[in-house]
Amino acid sequence: MEKYVINGGVPLHGEITVSGAKNAALAIIPAAILCQDVCTIENLPVSISDVRYMIATLRHIGATVRYVDKSTIEIDSRKVNSYVISHDMTKHLRASYYFIGALLGRFGRARVAMPGGCYLGPRPIDQHIKGFEALGARVSVEENAIVEADSESLFGNPIYLDIVSVGATVNIMLAAARAEGMTIIENAAKEPHIVDLANFLNSMGADVRGAGTDVIKIRGTENLHGCTYSIIPDQIEAGTYMVAAAATKGNVLIKNVIPKHLESISTKLIECGADVTEYDDAIRVSMEKRPGKCNIKTMPHPGFPTDMQPQMAVLLALAEGTSVISESIWSNRFRYTEQLARMGADITVDGQLAMIHGVEQLKGAPVKADDLRAGAAMIIAGLAAQGRTEIEDIMHIRRGYENVVEKISNIGGDIRMVYCIDPLDINNAG
Residues designated catalytic: 118
Q: Out of 94, 106, 217, 293, which residue is the one contacting ligand UD1 (CB under 6 A)?
A: 94
User: What Å distances lie between residue 76 and 29, 53, 396, CA to CA?
Assistant: 11, 17, 29
Residue 163 in contact with ligand UD1, rule: CB under 6 A? yes
Instruction: Return the bridge partners of 9, or none.
Output: none
Lateral strand order in the sheet of 72-76: 64-69, 72-76, 38-42, 228-230
Task: Give yes or no for a contact between 91 and 119, defined as CB atoms under 8 angstroms apart.
Answer: no
Please choose, from the candidates 136, 94, 133, the residue with its C-alpha nearest in 3D space to the C-alpha of residue 115: 94
Using CA atoms, how far residue 358 sits from 14, 295, 376, in Å, is 27, 12, 19
Query: Strand pairing partners for 253?
Result: 15, 284
Task: Please confirm whether the linkage preceding 302 is cis (ω < 30° from 0).
Answer: yes
DSSP secondary structure, 258-322, as one string: -GGGGHHHHHHHHHTT-EEEE-SSEEEEE--SPPBP--EEB-STTSB-GGGHHHHHHHHHTSBSE
131 part of the interface to ligand UD1, by CB under 6 A: no
Residue 35 three-state SS: coil
Taking the complex as a whole, the smallest distance from the CB of residue 325 to ligand UD1 amounts, in Å, to 15
Query: In the complex with ligand UD1, which residue's Cβ is closer, 51 or 208?
Result: 51
Task: Provide CB contacts within 8 A for 11, sequence distance 6+.
Answer: 248, 249, 250, 251, 412
Which of the stretches 159-167, 250-258, 273-281, 339-347 binds ligand UD1 when contact is defined by CB under 6 A? 159-167
Secondary structure class of 15 (helix, strand, coil) = strand
Near ligand UD1 by CB under 6 A: residue from 17, 19, 23, 251: 23
Under the criterion CB under 6 A, does residue 96 sit at the interface with ligand UD1?
no
Q: Which is nearer to ligand UD1, 331 or 428 (CB)?
A: 331
Q: How far is CA 206 from CA 70, 174, 182, 224, in A?
A: 28, 10, 12, 6
How many of the chain's residues bind ligand UD1 (CB under 6 A)?
20
Considering the complex, what minimum distance in angstroms separates the CB of residue 149 from ligand UD1? 14
Measured from the CB of residue 174, what is the shortest distance to ligand UD1 in angstroms? Answer: 13
- Could you say which of 12, 18, 26, 369 contacts ligand UD1 (CB under 6 A)? 26
- Cα 212 off chain centre by: 17
Q: Which stretch binds ligand UD1 (CB under 6 A): 120-128, 173-181, 206-214, 342-350?
A: 120-128
Applying the rule CB under 6 A, the residues between 168 and 207 that interact with ligand UD1 are 168, 189
How distant, in Å, are the alpha carbons of 165, 172, 207, 216, 417 from that of 186? 11, 11, 17, 7, 45
Least distance to ligand UD1, CB of residue 188, Å: 11
Beta carbon of residue 31, minimum distance to ligand UD1 (angstroms, whole number): 13
Q: Which of 2, 15, 88, 126 binds ligand UD1 (CB under 6 A)?
A: 126
309 belongs to the binding site for ligand UD1 (CB under 6 A): no
Angle between helices 372-384 and 235-247 (to 10 degrees): 20
Are the beta carbons of 401 and 240 closer than 8 angstroms? Answer: yes
If binding is defined by CB under 6 A, does position 214 make contact with ligand UD1? no
Regarding 158 and contact with ligand UD1 (CB under 6 A), the answer is no
Is position 286 an interface residue for ligand UD1 (rule: CB under 6 A)?
A: no
Interacting stretch for ligand UD1, rule CB under 6 A, among 66-74, 125-133, 266-274, 285-293? 125-133
Binding status of residue 351 toward ligand UD1 by CB under 6 A: no
The span of 72-80, 162-170, 311-319, 383-391 binding ligand UD1 (CB under 6 A) equals 162-170
**Cα angle at 18 between 48 and 167, to 5 degrees?**
60
| Residue 128 near ligand UD1 by CB under 6 A | yes
Beta-strand relationship, 84-85 and 109-113: parallel
Of all residues in this chain, which one has the CB nearest to ligand UD1 in the complex?
167
| Position among 21, 75, 95, 377 found at the interface with ligand UD1 (CB under 6 A) | 95
| Identity of the residue, 213 or 428, whose beta carbon is nearer to ligand UD1 in the bound complex | 213
Binding mask 365-404 for ligand UD1 (x = CB under 6 A): ----------------------------------------
> Can residue 306 be called a binding residue for ligand UD1 (CB under 6 A)?
yes
Q: Name the site residues for ligand UD1 (rule: CB under 6 A).
A: 23, 26, 94-95, 123-128, 163, 165-168, 189, 306-307, 329-330
